[in-house]
Structure 1
Amino acid sequence: MTAAATLLAVALLLTGRDGGARILTWRTAAIPVETPARRTDHDPLAAASTFDVLAACLASGMAVSAAASAAAESAPPALARILSRAADMLALGADAATAWSDPGPPLDDHARALLRLARRSAESGTALAHGVADLAVESRSDAADAAKGAAERAGVLIAAPLGVCYLPAFLCLGIVPVVVGLAGDVLQSGLW
Protein backbone atom coordinates (compact mmCIF):
# COMPACT_ATOMS: atom_id res chain seq x y z
CA MET A 1 0.00 0.00 0.00
CA THR A 2 2.85 2.43 0.76
CA ALA A 3 4.49 1.74 -2.61
CA ALA A 4 1.25 2.57 -4.41
CA ALA A 5 0.83 5.76 -2.37
CA THR A 6 4.42 6.76 -3.13
CA LEU A 7 3.91 6.18 -6.86
CA LEU A 8 0.66 8.17 -6.75
CA ALA A 9 2.42 11.06 -4.99
CA VAL A 10 5.21 11.06 -7.59
CA ALA A 11 2.65 10.99 -10.41
CA LEU A 12 0.75 13.93 -8.90
CA LEU A 13 3.98 15.82 -8.42
CA LEU A 14 4.98 15.37 -12.06
CA THR A 15 1.58 15.93 -13.66
CA GLY A 16 -0.19 18.21 -11.22
CA ARG A 17 -3.85 18.18 -10.28
CA ASP A 18 -5.09 19.33 -13.68
CA GLY A 19 -3.43 16.42 -15.52
CA GLY A 20 -1.05 18.63 -17.50
CA ALA A 21 2.62 17.74 -17.54
CA ARG A 22 5.03 19.87 -15.56
CA ILE A 23 8.62 20.34 -16.44
CA LEU A 24 10.84 20.37 -13.41
CA THR A 25 14.02 22.35 -13.86
CA TRP A 26 17.03 22.12 -11.65
CA ARG A 27 19.61 24.85 -12.04
CA THR A 28 22.99 25.12 -10.48
CA ALA A 29 25.55 27.88 -10.62
CA ALA A 30 27.93 25.67 -12.62
CA ILE A 31 25.61 25.46 -15.66
CA PRO A 32 25.85 28.57 -17.84
CA VAL A 33 22.55 29.78 -19.23
CA GLU A 34 22.75 31.28 -22.70
CA THR A 35 20.48 34.21 -23.33
CA PRO A 36 19.09 34.71 -26.82
CA ALA A 37 20.35 38.29 -26.91
CA ARG A 38 24.04 37.28 -26.85
CA ARG A 39 24.30 34.17 -29.00
CA THR A 40 27.58 33.65 -30.79
CA ASP A 41 26.20 31.98 -33.91
CA HIS A 42 25.90 34.14 -37.01
CA ASP A 43 22.38 35.32 -37.78
CA PRO A 44 22.25 37.26 -41.04
CA LEU A 45 19.08 39.09 -39.99
CA ALA A 46 20.30 40.10 -36.52
CA ALA A 47 21.73 43.39 -37.73
CA ALA A 48 18.49 44.22 -39.56
CA SER A 49 16.40 43.59 -36.45
CA THR A 50 18.79 45.72 -34.39
CA PHE A 51 18.45 48.55 -36.90
CA ASP A 52 14.66 48.18 -36.73
CA VAL A 53 14.74 48.49 -32.94
CA LEU A 54 17.02 51.52 -33.15
CA ALA A 55 14.83 53.18 -35.80
CA ALA A 56 11.67 52.53 -33.78
CA CYS A 57 13.23 53.97 -30.63
CA LEU A 58 14.44 57.06 -32.49
CA ALA A 59 11.09 57.52 -34.27
CA SER A 60 9.28 57.36 -30.93
CA GLY A 61 11.28 60.33 -29.69
CA MET A 62 13.89 58.68 -27.50
CA ALA A 63 17.25 60.36 -27.16
CA VAL A 64 19.95 58.88 -29.35
CA SER A 65 21.90 57.61 -26.34
CA ALA A 66 18.85 55.88 -24.85
CA ALA A 67 17.85 54.42 -28.22
CA ALA A 68 21.36 53.09 -28.83
CA SER A 69 21.44 51.57 -25.36
CA ALA A 70 18.06 49.88 -25.89
CA ALA A 71 19.07 48.50 -29.30
CA ALA A 72 22.41 47.22 -27.96
CA GLU A 73 20.68 44.71 -25.69
CA SER A 74 19.49 42.55 -28.60
CA ALA A 75 22.25 43.30 -31.10
CA PRO A 76 24.94 40.93 -32.38
CA PRO A 77 28.17 41.26 -30.36
CA ALA A 78 30.12 43.59 -32.67
CA LEU A 79 27.16 45.88 -33.22
CA ALA A 80 26.25 45.79 -29.52
CA ARG A 81 29.75 46.94 -28.63
CA ILE A 82 29.46 49.92 -30.99
CA LEU A 83 25.97 50.87 -29.81
CA SER A 84 26.90 50.57 -26.12
CA ARG A 85 30.04 52.63 -26.62
CA ALA A 86 28.14 55.35 -28.49
CA ALA A 87 25.33 55.35 -25.92
CA ASP A 88 27.76 55.71 -23.04
CA MET A 89 29.75 58.46 -24.73
CA LEU A 90 26.62 60.40 -25.73
CA ALA A 91 25.21 60.07 -22.22
CA LEU A 92 28.45 61.51 -20.84
CA GLY A 93 28.15 64.50 -23.18
CA ALA A 94 30.58 63.65 -25.96
CA ASP A 95 29.90 65.06 -29.39
CA ALA A 96 28.36 62.75 -31.99
CA ALA A 97 31.48 62.59 -34.17
CA THR A 98 33.49 61.22 -31.24
CA ALA A 99 30.76 58.89 -30.02
CA TRP A 100 30.20 57.36 -33.44
CA SER A 101 33.89 57.11 -34.37
CA ASP A 102 35.39 53.85 -35.59
CA PRO A 103 36.41 51.79 -32.51
CA GLY A 104 38.66 49.28 -34.24
CA PRO A 105 39.16 46.65 -36.91
CA PRO A 106 36.69 43.82 -36.10
CA LEU A 107 33.74 45.57 -37.80
CA ASP A 108 31.38 44.23 -40.41
CA ASP A 109 29.84 46.23 -43.25
CA HIS A 110 26.61 46.90 -41.35
CA ALA A 111 28.46 48.40 -38.39
CA ARG A 112 30.57 50.61 -40.63
CA ALA A 113 27.43 51.79 -42.44
CA LEU A 114 25.77 52.65 -39.12
CA LEU A 115 28.83 54.62 -37.98
CA ARG A 116 28.96 56.59 -41.26
CA LEU A 117 25.22 57.23 -41.14
CA ALA A 118 25.28 58.44 -37.53
CA ARG A 119 28.24 60.76 -38.13
CA ARG A 120 26.66 62.15 -41.30
CA SER A 121 23.34 62.64 -39.49
CA ALA A 122 25.05 64.51 -36.65
CA GLU A 123 26.90 66.78 -39.10
CA SER A 124 23.99 67.60 -41.38
CA GLY A 125 21.14 67.43 -38.88
CA THR A 126 19.09 64.91 -40.85
CA ALA A 127 16.84 62.45 -39.07
CA LEU A 128 18.74 59.37 -38.03
CA ALA A 129 15.60 57.21 -37.73
CA HIS A 130 14.86 57.20 -41.47
CA GLY A 131 18.43 56.38 -42.39
CA VAL A 132 18.59 53.52 -39.89
CA ALA A 133 15.27 52.14 -41.22
CA ASP A 134 16.74 52.24 -44.75
CA LEU A 135 19.84 50.51 -43.42
CA ALA A 136 17.62 47.75 -42.00
CA VAL A 137 15.98 47.24 -45.39
CA GLU A 138 19.38 47.16 -47.07
CA SER A 139 20.78 44.61 -44.61
CA ARG A 140 17.69 42.39 -45.12
CA SER A 141 18.26 42.61 -48.86
CA ASP A 142 21.90 41.64 -48.38
CA ALA A 143 20.86 38.65 -46.27
CA ALA A 144 18.34 37.56 -48.91
CA ASP A 145 20.98 37.87 -51.64
CA ALA A 146 23.44 35.81 -49.58
CA ALA A 147 20.81 33.13 -48.97
CA LYS A 148 19.92 33.03 -52.67
CA GLY A 149 23.60 32.73 -53.61
CA ALA A 150 24.08 29.88 -51.13
CA ALA A 151 21.05 28.06 -52.55
CA GLU A 152 22.38 28.45 -56.09
CA ARG A 153 25.80 27.16 -55.04
CA ALA A 154 24.13 24.17 -53.38
CA GLY A 155 22.28 23.42 -56.62
CA VAL A 156 25.53 23.42 -58.56
CA LEU A 157 27.27 21.26 -55.96
CA ILE A 158 24.41 18.75 -56.00
CA ALA A 159 24.50 18.44 -59.81
CA ALA A 160 28.08 17.16 -59.90
CA PRO A 161 27.53 13.95 -57.88
CA LEU A 162 24.32 13.25 -59.76
CA GLY A 163 26.16 13.57 -63.06
CA VAL A 164 28.89 11.26 -61.83
CA CYS A 165 26.28 8.65 -60.87
CA TYR A 166 23.80 8.93 -63.74
CA LEU A 167 26.11 9.50 -66.71
CA PRO A 168 27.85 6.11 -66.46
CA ALA A 169 24.50 4.41 -65.90
CA PHE A 170 23.06 6.15 -68.97
CA LEU A 171 26.06 5.11 -71.04
CA CYS A 172 26.00 1.50 -69.83
CA LEU A 173 22.24 1.00 -70.05
CA GLY A 174 21.30 3.33 -72.91
CA ILE A 175 24.13 3.89 -75.36
CA VAL A 176 26.24 0.72 -75.11
CA PRO A 177 23.36 -1.73 -75.91
CA VAL A 178 22.39 0.32 -78.98
CA VAL A 179 25.97 0.47 -80.26
CA VAL A 180 26.53 -3.26 -79.59
CA GLY A 181 23.26 -4.11 -81.33
CA LEU A 182 24.11 -1.99 -84.38
CA ALA A 183 27.65 -3.37 -84.50
CA GLY A 184 26.31 -6.92 -84.35
CA ASP A 185 23.88 -6.22 -87.20
CA VAL A 186 26.59 -4.58 -89.34
CA LEU A 187 29.09 -7.36 -88.71
CA GLN A 188 26.55 -10.12 -89.51
CA SER A 189 25.16 -8.48 -92.64
CA GLY A 190 28.09 -8.54 -94.90
CA LEU A 191 31.47 -7.72 -93.61
CA TRP A 192 32.33 -11.39 -93.02
Structure 2
Amino acid sequence: MSATVLTGFPVGLAAGAGSWWLLRRSRHPKNPDDVAERLRSASVLDMLAACLRAGMPVPTALEAVAPGAPPATETALHATANLLALGADPAPAWAPLRARTGFAELAVAATRTARSGAALASTADDLARRIRDGLGVEAEERAERAGVALALPVGLCFLPAFFALGVLPVVLGLAGRIGGLL
Protein backbone atom coordinates (compact mmCIF):
# COMPACT_ATOMS: atom_id res chain seq x y z
CA MET A 1 0.00 0.00 0.00
CA SER A 2 1.15 3.50 -0.70
CA ALA A 3 1.88 6.03 2.01
CA THR A 4 -1.06 8.17 0.86
CA VAL A 5 -3.53 5.35 1.48
CA LEU A 6 -2.01 4.51 4.84
CA THR A 7 -2.20 8.10 6.08
CA GLY A 8 -5.38 9.06 4.24
CA PHE A 9 -7.50 6.27 5.68
CA PRO A 10 -7.12 7.26 9.37
CA VAL A 11 -7.52 10.94 8.52
CA GLY A 12 -10.67 10.20 6.50
CA LEU A 13 -12.03 7.99 9.24
CA ALA A 14 -11.46 10.69 11.86
CA ALA A 15 -13.00 13.36 9.61
CA GLY A 16 -16.03 11.18 8.91
CA ALA A 17 -16.55 10.44 12.60
CA GLY A 18 -16.22 14.13 13.49
CA SER A 19 -18.65 15.14 10.76
CA TRP A 20 -21.14 12.48 11.82
CA TRP A 21 -20.99 13.78 15.38
CA LEU A 22 -21.46 17.42 14.28
CA LEU A 23 -24.36 16.57 11.99
CA ARG A 24 -26.05 14.45 14.61
CA ARG A 25 -25.70 17.25 17.16
CA SER A 26 -27.08 19.95 14.84
CA ARG A 27 -29.72 17.89 13.02
CA HIS A 28 -32.48 18.08 15.59
CA PRO A 29 -33.59 21.06 17.60
CA LYS A 30 -32.73 20.86 21.26
CA ASN A 31 -36.35 20.20 22.19
CA PRO A 32 -38.64 19.10 19.34
CA ASP A 33 -41.65 19.39 21.65
CA ASP A 34 -40.88 23.09 22.04
CA VAL A 35 -41.07 23.58 18.26
CA ALA A 36 -44.39 21.74 18.07
CA GLU A 37 -45.74 23.76 21.01
CA ARG A 38 -44.71 27.05 19.41
CA LEU A 39 -46.34 26.06 16.11
CA ARG A 40 -49.55 25.14 17.92
CA SER A 41 -49.43 28.45 19.78
CA ALA A 42 -49.05 30.31 16.48
CA SER A 43 -52.05 28.53 15.01
CA VAL A 44 -54.09 29.28 18.14
CA LEU A 45 -53.20 32.95 17.80
CA ASP A 46 -54.25 32.87 14.13
CA MET A 47 -57.59 31.29 15.04
CA LEU A 48 -58.09 33.78 17.86
CA ALA A 49 -57.51 36.68 15.46
CA ALA A 50 -60.03 35.19 13.01
CA CYS A 51 -62.63 34.73 15.75
CA LEU A 52 -62.20 38.29 17.00
CA ARG A 53 -62.39 39.73 13.48
CA ALA A 54 -65.60 37.77 12.94
CA GLY A 55 -67.09 39.64 15.91
CA MET A 56 -66.97 37.02 18.65
CA PRO A 57 -66.75 38.31 22.20
CA VAL A 58 -63.27 37.82 23.65
CA PRO A 59 -64.26 35.17 26.25
CA THR A 60 -66.12 33.14 23.62
CA ALA A 61 -63.19 33.40 21.20
CA LEU A 62 -60.76 32.23 23.89
CA GLU A 63 -62.98 29.24 24.69
CA ALA A 64 -63.28 28.42 20.98
CA VAL A 65 -59.53 28.30 20.34
CA ALA A 66 -58.47 26.66 23.62
CA PRO A 67 -58.82 23.02 22.45
CA GLY A 68 -56.13 23.54 19.80
CA ALA A 69 -53.59 24.93 22.26
CA PRO A 70 -50.85 23.02 24.10
CA PRO A 71 -52.18 21.64 27.42
CA ALA A 72 -50.82 24.31 29.78
CA THR A 73 -51.87 27.10 27.42
CA GLU A 74 -55.31 25.52 27.04
CA THR A 75 -55.79 25.68 30.80
CA ALA A 76 -54.68 29.32 30.85
CA LEU A 77 -57.04 30.16 27.97
CA HIS A 78 -60.00 28.56 29.77
CA ALA A 79 -59.12 30.35 33.02
CA THR A 80 -58.86 33.73 31.27
CA ALA A 81 -62.10 33.17 29.37
CA ASN A 82 -63.94 32.23 32.57
CA LEU A 83 -62.60 35.24 34.46
CA LEU A 84 -63.56 37.60 31.63
CA ALA A 85 -67.02 36.05 31.35
CA LEU A 86 -67.54 36.60 35.09
CA GLY A 87 -66.62 40.28 34.69
CA ALA A 88 -63.20 40.31 36.34
CA ASP A 89 -60.87 43.27 35.83
CA PRO A 90 -58.69 42.84 32.74
CA ALA A 91 -55.31 42.70 34.50
CA PRO A 92 -56.09 39.78 36.84
CA ALA A 93 -58.24 38.08 34.19
CA TRP A 94 -55.35 37.95 31.69
CA ALA A 95 -52.76 36.92 34.34
CA PRO A 96 -52.94 33.17 33.54
CA LEU A 97 -52.04 33.84 29.89
CA ARG A 98 -49.33 36.34 30.79
CA ALA A 99 -47.29 33.45 32.22
CA ARG A 100 -47.42 31.45 28.96
CA THR A 101 -44.62 31.78 26.39
CA GLY A 102 -45.78 33.73 23.36
CA PHE A 103 -48.95 35.00 25.03
CA ALA A 104 -47.54 37.59 27.42
CA GLU A 105 -47.67 40.36 24.83
CA LEU A 106 -51.24 39.38 23.93
CA ALA A 107 -52.23 39.62 27.59
CA VAL A 108 -50.65 43.07 27.90
CA ALA A 109 -52.40 44.28 24.74
CA ALA A 110 -55.69 42.82 25.92
CA THR A 111 -55.37 44.59 29.25
CA ARG A 112 -54.86 47.89 27.42
CA THR A 113 -57.77 47.34 25.01
CA ALA A 114 -60.24 45.77 27.40
CA ARG A 115 -63.31 46.80 25.43
CA SER A 116 -62.42 46.02 21.81
CA GLY A 117 -61.39 42.73 20.25
CA ALA A 118 -60.36 44.36 16.96
CA ALA A 119 -57.05 45.70 18.27
CA LEU A 120 -56.44 42.39 19.98
CA ALA A 121 -56.89 40.57 16.65
CA SER A 122 -54.04 42.48 15.01
CA THR A 123 -51.79 41.80 18.00
CA ALA A 124 -52.61 38.07 17.79
CA ASP A 125 -51.79 38.06 14.06
CA ASP A 126 -48.50 39.83 14.68
CA LEU A 127 -47.52 37.42 17.46
CA ALA A 128 -48.32 34.37 15.31
CA ARG A 129 -46.22 35.77 12.46
CA ARG A 130 -43.29 36.47 14.78
CA ILE A 131 -43.42 32.96 16.26
CA ARG A 132 -43.30 31.41 12.79
CA ASP A 133 -40.55 33.77 11.64
CA GLY A 134 -38.49 32.84 14.70
CA LEU A 135 -38.87 29.14 13.92
CA GLY A 136 -37.84 29.79 10.31
CA VAL A 137 -34.70 31.62 11.42
CA GLU A 138 -33.79 28.75 13.76
CA ALA A 139 -34.24 26.22 10.94
CA GLU A 140 -32.02 28.28 8.63
CA GLU A 141 -29.33 28.47 11.30
CA ARG A 142 -29.40 24.68 11.75
CA ALA A 143 -29.13 24.20 7.98
CA GLU A 144 -26.15 26.55 7.79
CA ARG A 145 -24.41 24.68 10.62
CA ALA A 146 -24.99 21.39 8.77
CA GLY A 147 -23.45 22.86 5.61
CA VAL A 148 -20.34 23.87 7.51
CA ALA A 149 -20.13 20.43 9.10
CA LEU A 150 -20.37 18.79 5.67
CA ALA A 151 -17.46 20.85 4.35
CA LEU A 152 -15.11 19.29 6.91
CA PRO A 153 -14.84 15.81 5.32
CA VAL A 154 -14.51 17.35 1.87
CA GLY A 155 -11.60 19.45 3.02
CA LEU A 156 -9.89 16.68 4.95
CA CYS A 157 -10.40 13.80 2.50
CA PHE A 158 -10.82 15.03 -1.04
CA LEU A 159 -8.36 17.91 -0.98
CA PRO A 160 -5.31 15.77 -0.02
CA ALA A 161 -6.37 13.18 -2.59
CA PHE A 162 -6.62 15.89 -5.24
CA PHE A 163 -3.09 17.06 -4.47
CA ALA A 164 -1.70 13.52 -4.30
CA LEU A 165 -3.37 12.29 -7.50
CA GLY A 166 -3.73 15.49 -9.53
CA VAL A 167 -1.20 18.17 -8.65
CA LEU A 168 1.77 16.11 -7.42
CA PRO A 169 2.21 14.05 -10.63
CA VAL A 170 2.10 17.21 -12.73
CA VAL A 171 4.67 18.97 -10.54
CA LEU A 172 6.97 15.92 -10.51
CA GLY A 173 6.64 15.56 -14.29
CA LEU A 174 7.49 19.21 -14.82
CA ALA A 175 10.41 18.96 -12.38
CA GLY A 176 11.79 16.00 -14.34
CA ARG A 177 11.58 17.87 -17.64
CA ILE A 178 13.06 21.07 -16.20
CA GLY A 179 15.87 19.02 -14.56
CA GLY A 180 16.66 17.44 -17.96
CA LEU A 181 16.92 20.86 -19.60
CA LEU A 182 19.44 22.18 -17.08
Same fold flag (TM > 0.5): yes
Q: How does 1:66-85 map to 2 (within 5 A)?
A: 66-85=60-79
- What's the counterpart of residue 45 of structure 1? 39
Identity of aligned residues (%): 46
The residue type paired with residue 121 of structure 2 is: A
* Cα distance between partner residues in 1 of 2:42 and 2:140: 17
* Cα distance between partner residues in 2 of 1:77 and 1:153: 33
Specify every segment of 5 or more residues in structure 1 that has no aligned partner in the other structure, as ranges: 1-39
Query: Which structure exhibits the higher relative contact order, with contacts defined as CA atoms closer than 8 Å and separated by 6 or more residues?
Result: 2
The residue type paired with residue 171 of structure 2 is: V
- What's the counterpart of residue 63 of structure 1? 57
Q: How does 1:27-38 map to 2 (within 5 A)?
A: none
- 1:127 maps to which of 115, 119, 124: 119
Point out the structure with max Rg over C-alpha: 1
CA contact (8 A) 1:97 1:122 kept: no
Aligned-residue CA RMSD (Å): 2.8
* Cα distance between partner residues in 2 of 1:112 and 1:104: 4
The residue type paired with residue 60 of structure 2 is: A
- 1:98 maps to which of 92, 95, 109: 92
The residue type paired with residue 155 of structure 1 is: G
Change in 2 beyond 3 A, CA 1:49/1:61: same
With normalisation by structure 1, the TM-score equals 0.64
Note the C-alpha offset of 1:54: 0.7
Change in 2 beyond 3 A, CA 1:181/1:167: same
- 1:185 maps to which of 158, 169, 177: 177
CA contact (8 A) 1:82 1:103 kept: yes
Question: Which contiguous aligned blocks of 4+ residues in structure 1 show a shift greater than 4 angstroms?
Answer: 102-105, 123-126
Specify every segment of 5 or more residues in structure 2 that has no aligned partner in the other structure, as ranges: 1-32
The yes-or-no answer on 1:137 pairing with 2:143 is no
With normalisation by structure 2, the TM-score equals 0.67
The yes-or-no answer on 1:164 pairing with 2:162 is no
CA contact (8 A) 1:48 1:140 kept: yes
- What's the counterpart of residue 10 of structure 2? none
* Cα distance between partner residues in 1 of 2:42 and 2:98: 21
Change in 2 beyond 3 A, CA 1:165/1:102: farther
